[in-house]
Amino acid sequence: MASPRPQIDRPIFSARGLTKVYRTGEVEVYALRGVDLDLAEGEIAVLLGPSGSGKSTLLNIMGGLDTPSSGTMHFRDEELTRFSERQLTAYRRDHVGFIFQFYNLIPSLTAWENVALVTEISAHPMKPEEALEMVGLKDRIHHFPAQLSGGEQQRVAIARAIAKRPEVMLCDEPTGALDSKTGILVLEALSRINEELNTTMAIITHNAGIQQIAHRVFSFRDGRIAEATVNETRAKPSTVTW
Amino acid sequence: MTALSVLDRKLARDLARLWAQVLAIALVMACGVMTIVIAVGAYRSLDETRAAFYERYRFASVFSGLTRAPLHLREDLAAIPGVSGVDLRIVKAALLDLPGMAEPATGIAISIPDRGEPAVNRLYLRSGRLPEADRTGEVAVTEPFAKAHRMTPGSTFSAILNGRKRLLTVTGIVLSPEYIYAIGPGDMVPDQRRFGVFYMPRTTLAGIYDMNGAFNDLVARTQRGADLNVVSDRIDAILKPYGGTGTHDREDQISHAFLDNELMQLRAMAVVIPPIFLFVSAFLVNMILTRLIALEREQVGLMKAIGYSSLDVAWHYAKLTLLIAIIGIIIGSLAGNWLGRGMTRLYATFFSFPFLIFRQSLDLYVIAAGVSAAAALAGAGRAIWSVVRLPPAVAMRPPAPTQYRSLFAGSAGLATVFSQLTIMALRHLIRWPVRMLMTTLGTSMAVALLVTALFSFDSIDFMIDTVFFRTERQDATISFGLERSPRALQAVAAMPGVIRAEGFRAAPVVLRKGHRERRLAIQGVMPSPDLARVLDEDLLPVEPPATGLMVSERVARLLHLSIGDRVEIELLEKGHRIVEAPVTSIVQSYVGLAVYMRLDALDRLVGDGPRLSGVRVSIDRAKLDDLYAAVKETPAVASIALQGVSRGRFRETIGENITIMTTVYTLLAVIITFGVVYNSARIQLSERARELASLRVMGFTRGEVSSVLLIELGVIVLLAQPLGWALGYGFSWAVVRGFESDLFRIPLVVERATFAISSLVVLAVAVVSALIVRRRIDRLDLVRVLKTRE
């Protein structure tokens, strides 16, 4: 895949000196130690690193699920780190799509309804069936999560995340619970959305294979970005193996 | 802590962690224990106190009134096989003139032997001494009356005895097993101020009433095992020539009958109320334990994998259940003991006992504890059994995903009606129909309890309205000591302040149809009565027919009478002559066993010419005092019942009782509602924390996320309302049927406001319970919830 790397002159996310300290009893644990990061619109960024290296904390702060101990995080021109609880809820609602390792679908809603859950509260959503078609699940629309395979469930989660046409998708181990064949289907869906909707994506993974589809790869160690590499030539999801 | 096994430490921590839910369940259980302890405890206290009083003070088992008989019948009467003691007394009604009280009070004068104690119905001397025969005007008065008038030995008051006003001196304050519940003639509730019983030596009373060597009342005790019917027949045979009105047993003795009624109510409470709480707590235990075990599935697997037996693990969860039960039992026992004592003390003010036996019977607590623990374990049974059956390898894998029904699925039409959040709530609801049904039923019990408590206000109001404003519309009822000629009516009508006067006649009879019979009084009423009206079953006034009986619905039911039937009437005061009359209508009456007849028809039936037993009057209130003064000076008047005062007392007494009952029931309903709704919300939250957190992550606000839970709770609570109304109506019906006795009957009236108030209370508690849980939704840890696998 030879799409040009998005330009960073107008970053969609901009982090400066992000630090997060968790206090558990008497012990202070540094999850982030002064991270600076800019992500461009339409960029796919893969965050790599061992557990506890800070990548999930960063993703949560980007998604408005957590707040840093110090430092700032901007989303376009707005400083997320100054948002109130209510503003963060609205931010998640209007701009962010999440994908988690364990799908987090609502078991009592069908695939279609899980997607409709989000489109009901969005300003310019796609139709639920449209979103499901994009992830190749058009014929499983009225199935409950319990009637779907893991890969299918994760694709419903993706459909749910993209249906509101978010500017940002934050994915925490999206293929972590999947075998490689279904994992590839998920990756295909993600990169297709990136191309068609120009959605910025931050993907956490332990899976080194996935980094081949990213524009940039950030390696985390001890709460810092240890290394950032640019993929000059990105692989197609179908060619990725792990 | 070192003494505790590791599993017990886990247990202690579980208990500490689940404290709110544990307490909510324990409180519901406590209500069950408490009601058992109170109802059974009060029942036993009352029953044993009464039995002890009866036994020690030789309460009679056979009673008979008569006109006048010579005392030498004593030997014949005492010789009847089975009779162990007999007292031949003089009993006379008298008007009392009390200092500081304009309205006349009614008294009953009873003779006691000049020396020694009566053989039957002995007196308990609270203070002072019994009156002596050679000192005139000495009396002993009953305690409630003395208390109401602050009488002590040495106090004096006037009574009109045999037409003459006499000054009486109180020598002693006494209690009698005959007047544990003392109610004046014509009154509906006891009024200690306006009704008193006083005892005078036989010689003195005989002198006043010209009854030397004679008696007009018999009370007798029978030996254990004696056939009361045989004894009664023998007594009746002896007394018949002397105007004997026929013997009756304790069932027809007013004081005894009222106590029986009270005991019956307590028994009903002990049978009906505790099971409700035990059922609800069993269900709650089931709900919480099922969830706890689902959450600890992997721990169960682990425990089994490392060598704990299924029994060990089951016992671990059974202990949790038992601990909840123990907390409930302790709270319930303490509250029950405390309230039980209070209730027994309340009885002491209502009933006159010389002593109170509040027995702390251990067996009662053992039974209450056993039943509650059993209910809890029954509730826990299924959940614990699932632990026993779960193989460790299966336990350590996550459970199979929950299957939902495709209600509404695929129909875009419905999806546009309900939001996805609503659909989530509804699907979750019908996913566990049994649980939903139980939760609804539990909540509806709270509504039903409230309806059952509150309907009494409606019914009593209705009863007061009917009795005092539609039927007995007189201001006062004047009763003569002896039947008078109709001229007495003119005399009463001429008294100061009397606006309207209606004469009546009361003829004591035994009404008989086939083998069924009832002792009662036929009331002769004037044609087109305005004060004492007779109401048909639709509560409309009916004109008394020229002949035949108007029989109240209860009498008709008891004797299986219908219109057109001829009944046999035994005239008790007329030598037990037997006559017959047809039933011409069925009428409504809430008090006593009412049978009416037109006055002239009754006169013809009795056959001794026109006679009046008393007069009902309406009074010009401005001249009330003049009337009272005139009545006190009228020898023929034996008693006067004041309907206005009666009505006030009635409301007051009943009102007090109902207020206490309503408070208790409201508290019980609040506890049930809280127990059910709070636990149900907590379980839901536990099951759906992940879903709700997902919704928050997707950008749903706290309010929207809470709505998923609240809709589900709301549906349950709303469904519970009509069900609760229906159950409450049923309970109320049962209460009305249970309270129905020959003394009175409560109409079943449930106003819409009662349903509304019941629902509002339950809804308010439900909202508060839900809001407590909502705070937990607000504090959901989004990140942590999402990172974990369910």
Q: Are the C-beta atoms of B273 and B453 separated by less than 8 Å?
A: no
What is residue B409's predicted lDDT score, i.e. its pLDDT? 52
Please give the Cα distance from B452 to B443 (Å, whole number): 14
b (16+ CB within 10 A) / e for B420-444: bbbbbbbbbbebbeebbebbbbbbb
Q: Choose among B400, B401, B419: nearest Cβ to A120.
A: B419
Chain B residue numbers with beta carbons less than 8 Å from the beta carbon of A117 are: 420-421, 695, 698
Provide the number of CB pairs (under 8 Å) joining chain A to chain B.
97
Q: Are the C-beta atoms of B182 and B144 separated by less than 8 Å?
A: yes
Please give the Cα distance from A56 to A51 (Å, whole number): 9
CA distance to partner chain A, nearest, from residue B3 (Å): 28
Residue with tokens 């689902």: B294
Q: Of all residues in chain B, what percent carry a pLDDT higher than 90?
A: 43
What is the CB neighbour count within 10 angstroms for residue B494? Answer: 10
Contact: B410, A142; criterion CB under 8 Å: yes
Q: Kindly indicate the confidence band of residue B537, based on its pLDDT and cuts at 50, 70 and 90.
A: confident
What is residue A2's predicted lDDT score, i.e. its pLDDT? 44
Q: Are the C-beta atoms of A62 and A73 separated by less than 8 Å?
A: yes
Please give the Cα distance from B369 to B364 (Å, whole number): 8
Least reliable range by pLDDT among B387-401, B479-493, B529-543: B387-401
Q: Choose among B410, B415, B790: nearest Cβ to A116.
A: B415
Please give the Cα distance from B773 to B681 (Å, whole number): 7
How does pLDDT run across A194-242, given as a tens digit for each residue?
Answer: 888 899 999 998 777 788 889 999 999 999 999 999 988 888 888 877 6
- Mean pLDDT for B349-353 is 84
How does pLDDT run across A3-19, given as a tens digit for each residue?
Answer: 556 666 678 999 999 99
Q: Return the DSSP state at B155.
A: -
Contact: B419, A89; criterion CB under 8 Å: no
Q: Choose among A92, A93, A142: nearest Cβ to B409.
A: A142
**What is the rounded average pLDDT for all residues in chain A?**
87
- Mean pLDDT for B589-603 is 91
Contact: A117, B409; criterion CB under 8 Å: no
Residue in A with minimal Cα distance to B410? A142
Give A 193-232 residues with CB within 8 A of chain B: none
Residue with tokens 């956490």: A204
Contact: A110, B401; criterion CB under 8 Å: no
What is residue B1's predicted lDDT score, i.e. its pLDDT? 41
CA distance to partner chain B, nearest, from residue A183 (Å): 19
Q: Choose among A66, A142, A146: nearest Cβ to B401.
A: A146
Give A 5-64 residues with CB within 8 A of chain B: 56, 60, 63
| CA B85 from centre of chain | 34
User: What pairs with residue A221 in β-bridges?
Assistant: A224
Q: Kindly indicate the confidence band of residue B344, based on its pLDDT and cuts at 50, 70 and 90.
A: confident
- Mean pLDDT for B140-160 is 93
* Span A41-65+88-239 CATH architecture: 3-Layer(aba) Sandwich (3.40)
Q: Choose among A89, A108, A113: nearest Cβ to B428.
A: A108
Show the 3-state SS of B417-471: HCCHHHHHHHHHHHHCHHHHHHHHHHHHHHHHHHHHHHHHHHHHHHHHHHHHHHH
Integer distance in angstroms from the first to the last C-alpha of chain A? 19
Residue with tokens 């601990």: B323
Q: Are strands B105-112 and B195-201 parallel, antiparallel or unpaired?
A: parallel
Q: What are phi and psi of B639, to 5 degrees?
A: -155, 160
Residue in B with minimal Cα distance to A161? B698
Q: Choose among A98, A109, A141: nearest Cβ to B697.
A: A98
How does pLDDT run across B502-525, given as a tens digit for each residue?
Answer: 999 999 899 999 999 998 999 999
**What is the rounded average pLDDT for all residues in chain B?**
88
Q: Tell me: pLDDT of B787 over 70.
A: no
What is residue B788's predicted lDDT score, i.e. its pLDDT? 62
Q: Kindly indicate the confidence band of residue B5, based on its pLDDT and cuts at 50, 70 and 90.
A: confident
Q: Are the C-beta atoms of B539 and B588 separated by less than 8 Å?
A: yes
CA distances A82 to A66, A86, B247, B582, Å, are 12, 11, 94, 94
Residue in A with minimal Cα distance to B399? A146
Comparison of pLDDT for B482 and B443, the residue scoring more:
B443
Q: Choose among B415, B431, B697: nearest Cβ to A108.
A: B431
Contact: A108, B403; criterion CB under 8 Å: no
Q: Tell me: pLDDT of B2 over 70.
A: no
Q: What is the ipTM of this complex?
A: 0.85
What is residue A170's predicted lDDT score, i.e. its pLDDT? 93
Chain A residue numbers with beta carbons less than 8 Å from the beta carbon of B421 are: 117
Q: Widest CA span of chain B, in angstroms?
A: 102
What is residue B140's predicted lDDT score, i.e. its pLDDT? 96
Interface test with B, best of A100, A101, A108, A117 (most B CBs within 10 A): A108
What is residue B448's predicted lDDT score, i.e. its pLDDT? 94
Contact: B701, A86; criterion CB under 8 Å: yes
Domain ranges of chain B: 91-210, 432-473+645-790, 498-619
Q: Are the C-beta atoms of A105 and A114 separated by less than 8 Å?
A: yes
Contact: B790, A102; criterion CB under 8 Å: yes
Residue in A with minimal Cα distance to B696? A89
What is residue B414's predicted lDDT score, i.e. its pLDDT? 55
What is residue B350's predicted lDDT score, i.e. its pLDDT? 80
Contact: A65, B782; criterion CB under 8 Å: yes
Q: Kindly indicate the confidence band of residue A28, based on its pLDDT and cuts at 50, 70 and 90.
A: confident
CA distance to partner chain A, nearest, from residue B783 (Å): 7
CA distance to partner chain B, nearest, from residue A3 (Å): 30
Chain A residue numbers with beta carbons less than 8 Å from the beta carbon of B701 are: 86, 89
- Mean pLDDT for B391-416 is 67
Tell me the whole-structure pTM to 2 decimals: 0.82
Residue in A with minimal Cα distance to B416? A120
Domain ranges of chain A: 41-65+88-239
Q: Kindly indicate the confidence band of residue B416, based on its pLDDT and cuts at 50, 70 and 90.
A: low
Helix (H, G, I), strand (E, B) or coil at B638: strand
What is residue B691's predicted lDDT score, i.e. its pLDDT? 87
Q: Are strands A200-204 and A168-172 parallel, antiparallel or unpaired?
A: parallel
What is residue B506's predicted lDDT score, i.e. its pLDDT? 92
Contact: A66, B410; criterion CB under 8 Å: no
